[in-house]
Amino acid sequence: MSDIAALVANTIDIWTSATQRKSSAGRGVGKRFSHYGVERLRALILDLAVRGKLLPQNPEDEPATALLIKMAAERQGRIKAREIKATKGPTTPSSKPFVLPSGWTWLPLWQTGNIFTGNSIDSSLRSELAANSEGRPFVATKDVGYGLDPIDYDNGLTVALDDKRFNVARPNSVFICAEGGSAGRKIAVSDREIAFGNKLIVNEPWSQIAPRYILYTYLSEFFFKCFSDDMTGIIGGISRAKFLALPFPLPPLPEQRRIVAKVDELMALCDALERKSAGAMAAHQALVDELLATLVNSADAADLTLQWARLERHFDALFITDASIDALKQTILDLAVRGKLVEQNARDEAASELLKRTAKEKANLIRQGLAKRNKLLPGVDHSMLPFSLPSGWAWARFPELGIFERGKSKHRPRNDPKLFSPGIYPLIQTGEVARATGLINEVHSHYSDLGLAQSKLWKEGTLCITIAANIADAAIMGFDACFPDSVVGFVPARPITDPRYFLYFIRTAKADLLRFAPSTAQKNINLGILETLLVPLPPLPEMARIVAKVDALMALCDALKARIADVGGIQRYLADAITERAAA
């Protein structure tokens, strides 16, 4: 067993358990997390490879310095045959970042192959290429992956074989993005002739250099650091001159081939570790979801107690990831709005009486001009009720429970500077509602007096619900503020004074509300959907008990998440420490 294979075998739990939450969550558990440990292992393998530490050297290999003569002769032969243009570059690399083994040598990147850029295409030329049915693919930056991903050749753009306007790269050429957010990160080896975009730099390696060795060098952390250190400009890019001067560690040709074979083998091992980790995470989350569903579907309080006792015995094994804690939080909310989280008290005034009192208060607010009269709502269809309510509860709708209206922003254009200068009155947007964890305590825009005149100032404690861009995100205002018509405001009528129960309900209803949104880039639902949404209403005293219990349990969940984060930090630290020790 090789040293690196032994390292992986002896520390496999560290590599597979060290994960990290991604900055932007995708769908599914696997997409919300990166396999941090495996990523560090990949980086270690590449680092050892380009430093000559992955495999032992063979003193019988022809040294890399001898390859330089052969490569220079190959270059001159192709120039003489007018296959390529003459290129001038520095005789030494821009730096020599580390000491190389015997038989290796540093050289500037331009000496490794024929290096050139692609062509830009405008909309007219793009249409022309899209109309071609035969020829060679035209590849843009978006079609190139991150090193180990295949190039997407089937993008609908084709260059005719006799079209001389485009630079063409040979098969087994190595591409790297030179400009923009993907600069130095999007890298690939081609398996066919292709034309390509102007943000890509291609390296057609000389016969004395293995293309995949160049690929793995490009993917190494040392090369990316050298590359990024030479990037300039607002959008970020590297000039051709600086790219050609980047340092390249060249081993003897037989060792290049051995390195490529070993890295291929170890990357396959990393793929297997990643699949194992992802599979374990998915299976774990499926188990958590199944067991939590038994709580929500419990018939009554006695059944819930029984189901919880089964789950509680395995609590420490089940709730060990952020995703499992998030699922537990959602279950707590589901139980809360179904009347299964706290016990009912027969002495509590029934919710039907509470509805009469809120209706009376709402009518009073309408008479005073403080609330609008909502349209007449249809009766409750008892055959369509989502679940059964406990004794003393009732089904209601938001307009029956208080002020329920869209925000206002009548002036056009909405970004007229006069609406904002001087800024006095906070203006809450959908993004601020989405980012809030329950209480809105940030704001980035303020209306002037003119802005306020075409809007409305809502009071602190208003529940905000988004109906555009971010659907059914909800949070409570921590200050008086305005908001546009992409947000709906709810102020409960007395005797209800605390909107938190309704915040928790919206969180349980979000998935259902999203189904009403059209499948377009700009998601939205209309006010009527929210107006007819059935709200499970508990008696007022029970509502207060539910809110107190939910808050207490959410605090415990957050504490558990913090502990998981600490453990995850330790696992990532261990992965880093092992990587650094192995690379030393």
Topology of 351-537 in CATH? Adenine-n6-DNA-methyltransferase TaqI; Chain A, domain 2 (3.90.220)
How far is C-alpha 116 from the geometric centre of its chain's CA atoms?
34
Residue 424 tokens read as: 């006095």
Contacts of 145 (CB under 8 A, 6+ apart): 151, 152, 186, 187, 188
Q: How far apart are the first and last CA of the chain?
A: 20
**62-251 under CATH 3.90.220.20, yes or no:** yes
Q: How far is CA 532 from the centre of its chain?
A: 33
Distance CA 498, CA 438 (A): 13
Q: How many Å apart are CA 537 and CA 543, to the nearest integer?
A: 8
Query: Is the pTM above the cut of 0.75?
Result: no
- Contacts of 288 by beta carbon, 8 Å cutoff, 6+ apart: 318, 319, 323, 324, 327, 328
DSSP class per residue in 141-166? GGG--BSSSPP---SS-EE-TT-TTS
In terms of DSSP H, where are the helices of 63-179?
64-80, 123-131
The tens place of each residue's pLDDT in the chain, 584 residues long, gives 355 555 555 555 554 555 555 544 333 344 455 667 778 778 888 988 999 988 889 999 999 999 999 999 999 999 999 999 988 889 999 899 999 999 999 999 999 999 999 999 999 999 999 999 899 999 999 999 988 889 999 999 999 999 999 999 999 999 999 999 899 999 999 999 999 999 999 999 999 999 999 999 999 999 999 999 999 988 889 999 999 999 999 999 999 999 999 999 888 888 887 887 777 777 767 878 877 887 888 776 677 777 777 777 777 777 777 888 888 899 999 999 999 888 899 999 999 999 999 999 999 999 998 888 888 888 888 878 989 999 999 999 999 999 999 999 888 888 899 999 999 999 999 999 999 989 999 999 999 999 999 999 999 999 999 998 888 999 999 999 999 999 999 999 999 999 999 999 999 999 888 877 765 556 678 888 999 999 999 999 999 999 999 999 999 888 888 877 665 555 555 555 555 555 55
Check residue 138 and report its DSSP letter. E
Long-range pairs for 369-372: beta carbons < 8 A, 24 or more residues apart: 370/403, 371/402, 371/403, 371/405, 372/403, 372/405
- Cross-strand pairs, 201: 117, 176
Intrachain domains 62-251 and 351-537 with the same fold: yes
DSSP letters for 251-288 = --HHHHHHHHHHHHHHHHHHHHHHHHHHHHHHHHHHHH
According to the model, what pLDDT value does residue 397 have?
94
Q: Which residue has the tokens 């060795």?
A: 213
The per-residue pLDDT for 148 is 85
Reduced to 3 states, what is the DSSP secondary structure of residue 338?
coil
Phi, psi of 443 (to 5 degrees): -155, 140
* Domain ranges within the chain, ordered by starting residue: 62-251, 351-537
Residue 566 has a pLDDT of 62
